Amino acid sequence: MDGTSRDPRLQLVPRQPTREIAASARRAVRHRTRRQPRVPDGIAPRPRLAAQARERLAGAVRVARMAEDVHAPSRKSAEDAAAVLGTDPAEAGRDWDFALLAGLIELHADQARAGWRLRAWERDDSAVLRGWVALFDAWSLAVPAPDSLDTAAVAEVVEAAPQVLALLHLSGGPMRVPALLDLLRQRVAELGGGAA
């Protein structure tokens, strides 16, 4: 062998005790988890909000499950869905739109497929609430902001507003303006990564 070759033998690394590894893993997970934002007073618990959203979107879920079986949505399939579900075509069309906006249905090359939210609908409250908020995202895209307002502030509020509107719609009663403004400030702060 020449003088530049390396020693091919592996060097063993001393083994760490199992307890130290487990403690290190727990510390890493503890530092990674984010704290949930404080829920303002007067807002229903998450499971109750999800149950209300499930109830309000029941028609959209029925249409989505039917569309999942049909795979090729058309005016005829909307009429068929209305007949099978015992609703009028306009209501079936509205439920179809809600299902699309909530992510219950996804269209791929004129084929309707179950969206991931439909598959998680019965077991995942977060998926339900995200679908509910997605309905209100359409509002923020359709309504332009007045020219006289600061565009950055408007963008932050428009991005945060769907969650506030969705919560207000599910609250089932009046909410105090300070609680709504507090929720809006929290959401803007979350989206901006800082304090509002």
Flag whether 66 is in a domain: yes
pLDDT in tens, 124-160: 999 998 898 888 776 556 556 677 877 777 777 777 7
Flag whether 85 is in a domain: yes
Q: In this structure, what CATH number is given to the domain that contains residue 109?
A: 1.10.10
Flag whether 12 is in a domain: no
pLDDT in tens, 109-129: 777 788 889 999 999 999 998
pLDDT in tens, 77-121: 667 778 888 888 888 888 888 888 888 988 877 777 888 899 999
To the nearest 5 percent, what fractions of the chain are helix, strand and coil? 60, 5, 35
Flag whether 94 is in a domain: yes
Indicate the number of domains in the chain. Answer: 1
Range of the domain at 188: 46-192
Flag whether 19 is in a domain: no
pTM of this prediction? 0.58
DSSP annotation of 145 reads P
Burial of 194 (C-beta count, 10 Å sphere; 0-12/13-18/19+): exposed
If you compute the radius of gyration of the chain from its CA atoms, what whole number of angstroms results? 25
Flag whether 24 is in a domain: no
Nearest CA-CA partner of 50 in 183, 173, 166, 180? 166
Consecutive H or E run containing 167: helix 151-170
Q: Indicate the average pLDDT of the chain.
A: 75
- Within 8 A by CB and 6+ apart from 33, the residues are none
pLDDT of residue 31: 57
Give the whole-number percent of the chain exceeding pLDDT 70.
64
